[in-house]
Amino acid sequence: PSRRWYLPEGNTTGTHTWVLLMNPNPAPAQTTLTFMTEQGDTVVKQFTIKPTARLNVFTNLYLSDSSFSTLVEADQPIVAESAGYFSGGKAGYNGRGSDFAAARWYMAEGFTGHTVRLAIMNPNPVPAKAEVTFMVQGGQNVTQAMELLPRSRRTVVANQLLPKDVSFSATVTADVPVVVQRTSILPNGEGGHSALGVPAPAKTWFLAEGSTANPFQEYLALQNPSGAAPRAGVPFMT
């Protein structure tokens, strides 16, 4: 648990977005949510979470037709997550919050056969200069530079910069600490998945979930941001 959480992804355009708050403490938690839009506007709401309880915040009540990020602040450690539902509630995605911001983020997964967007959250009171590098499978890189308004969200749609049906990874760097989340929407809104970026590469990764049972198709996306060509081993534990 943490007193501060960053939730980069939020959308109320054809989507119902919920911020989900868990208070594991024996006392109430006074909580402030600051919604940060792409235009740099902010909406602030305050809530009380009962002891050892969960609170659901339906963001569509406070923002309409908006893409936004959410800053969660509480007077004691809590846990925050967000979930979005679309296609009449038949499809959705969710993602945990981050309890820190960083100047660099890595996202291994990306495929332009889906609609892929990067939500970049600038929680700082100053503008942020950022650069997104798409690492296309096979070694080609595409770079996009941008500036983020103070306390705002910026959306980068990979499909607008890359060809169709391309697999890629992405790296985001900024001159101030930001938070980045990747969200993929399947064709015709049939489904979606979302994941927070990671702030650094590592030599070992653990993935608890995996299934090749019908109708699942399982992919592991490996991103190599270095200038070398490392060898990777993948032991599957059944």
pLDDT tens per residue across span 60-108: 999 999 999 999 999 999 999 999 999 999 999 999 999 999 999 999 9
3-state percent helix, strand, coil for the chain, nearest multiple of 5: 5, 55, 40
CA distances from 75 to 2, 25, 54 (A): 10, 11, 16
What pTM did the predictor assign? 0.96
pLDDT, residue 138, reads 86
pLDDT tens per residue across span 134-166: 999 988 899 999 999 999 999 999 999 999 999
Q: Is the pLDDT of residue 173 over 90?
A: yes
With tokens 């749609």, the residue in question is 157
What span, in angstroms and rounded, lies between the C-alpha atoms of 238 and 211?
A: 9
* Surface-to-core class of residue 149, CB atoms within 10 Å of its CB (0-12 exposed, 13-18 middle, 19+ buried): middle
Q: How many Cα neighbours within 13 Å face the side chain of 132?
A: 27
